Amino acid sequence: MEPAPHIAVVDDHRDIRDLVGRYLAQHGYRVSVAENGTALRRLLERSAPDLVILDIMMPGEDGLSLCRHLRGTTEVPIIFLTAMVEDTDRIVGLELGADDYLTKPFNPRELLARIKAVLRRVNSLPPQRIKLKARMLSFDRWMLNVGRRELVDGDGVAVPLSTAEFRLLTAFLDHAGLILSRDQLLDLTVGRAADSFDRSIDNQVSRLRKKIELDPKNPMLIKTHWGGGYSFMAEVCEA
């Protein structure tokens, strides 16, 4: 029997930590709580949660900074809790890599539903062919510095990548040779943010092709599978 999913709840308000922790425990989840970034880092040294519920507005290291840290070191799904209602604040969190967000005050039942949806989506994604632990990856005539998000061609010329293009490229490199549907690519790149940005994966693929293909009109790296999505056909190696 598989263990229950482990949820980490990070919020500086004890009443929220206790409320969410009790509610999730009642519904069969294993729960750890942390009052700040330091406590979360200690928790991560002991265990690897399946999902992190992260408050944005915390004294000291805030949720956005912690999200950057988590995205740089793990692939754990993140749901933001935020008192902010401005679109800009919400989009910043999603751009940093959060999978979903919930505005305070919230109904615990809605939080539970979002947790189930994120875990279901993550568990349905195809397995990674390559884990992006290496800082340098090579494919075709390109070299990608993952940590610096820098793409360099065979002549040493750097090609700038937007955040969306970098995420799409790394999703392809992670799953080289696999056919990824448009929905899977959205989940791998922006998750629930797809609803907020209304960006077409087809348009993102087109922009990325213009940067990495010798002939974007006759692509050899990113292949289209009509009705099935896209696949990345180049061999990917750790440099």
Predicted confidence pLDDT, tens digits, the chain (239 residues): 567 899 999 999 999 999 999 999 999 999 999 999 999 999 999 988 999 999 988 888 888 889 888 887 787 889 998 876 656 666 677 777 788 888 888 999 999 999 998 888 777 766 655 555 557 899 999 999 887 888 999 898 999 998 888 889 998 998 898 888 887 888 777 654 444 444 578 888 999 999 999 999 999 999 999 877 899 999 998 87
For the chain, list the domains and their CATH numbers: 6-124 (3.40.50.2300), 136-238 (1.10.10.10)
Cα dihedral 72, 73, 75, 78, rounded to 10, equals -70
pLDDT at residue 196, rounded to an integer: 41
User: Is pTM, for the whole model, over 0.75?
Assistant: no
Quick check: bond before 105 cis, omega within 30?
Answer: yes
Hey, what amino acid is at 132? Answer: L
How do strand 30-34 and strand 6-10 relate by DSSP bridges?
parallel
pLDDT at 197: 43
The neighbouring-strand residues paired with 142 are: 139
Q: Which pLDDT does position 219 carry in this prediction?
A: 95
Query: Per-residue DSSP letters for 40-89?
Result: HHHHHHH---SEEEEES--SSS-HHHHHHHHHHH----EEEEES---HHH
Token digits of residue 12:
């500086």
pLDDT for 147: 78
Position 141 scores a pLDDT of 93
**What's the pLDDT score for residue 142?**
95
The label of the residue with tokens 């075709």 reads 140
- pLDDT of 53: 96
